[in-house]
A = this chain, B = another copy of it.
Amino acid sequence: MRTTPLVELTRRRAIEDVASELFREHGYAATSVRDIARALDMQGASLYAHVTSKEDVLWAIVDRTASRFEAAAAEVLDSTGAVPGQSDPAATLTRLVRAHVRVIAEDVEAAGVFVHEWRALGEERRAGVLSRRDTYERRFRDLIEEGMSSGDFALTDSSLAATAVLSALNGLPAWYDPAGRLTADRVADHFVEFTLGMLQGASR
Contacts and interface: CB of A to CB of B under 8 A. Distances in A.
Interface string A21-41: 000011111100000000000
Number of copies of this protein chain within its complex: 2
Given A167-B170, A201-B197, A190 B157 contact: yes
A120 B29 CA distance: 11
Interface in A114-143: 116, 119-120
A61 to B, nearest CB: 17
Contact of A197 (B116, B119, B200): B200
B191 A202 contact: no
Nearest to A203: B200
A25 B98 CA distance: 31
A164 interface: yes
A4 interface: no
A119 B190 contact: no
Most chain B CB neighbours (cut-off 10 Å) among A27, A163, A191, A194: A194
Contact of A203 (B164, B190, B203): B203
B201 A202 contact: no
A191 B203 CA distance: 15
A187 interface: yes
A196 B203 CA distance: 8
A90 B165 CA distance: 20
Given A27-B29, A28-B30, 5 more contacts: A27-B119, A30-B120, A157-B190, A171-B171, A197-B197
Interface of A: 25-30, 90, 116, 119-120, 156-157, 160-161, 163-168, 170-172, 174-175, 182, 187, 190-191, 193-194, 196-204
18 contacts: A27-B119, A29-B29, A116-B116, A156-B190, A160-B190, A161-B190, A164-B171, A165-B168, A167-B170, A167-B172, A168-B171, A194-B198, A196-B202, A196-B204, A197-B199, A197-B200, A198-B198, A200-B204
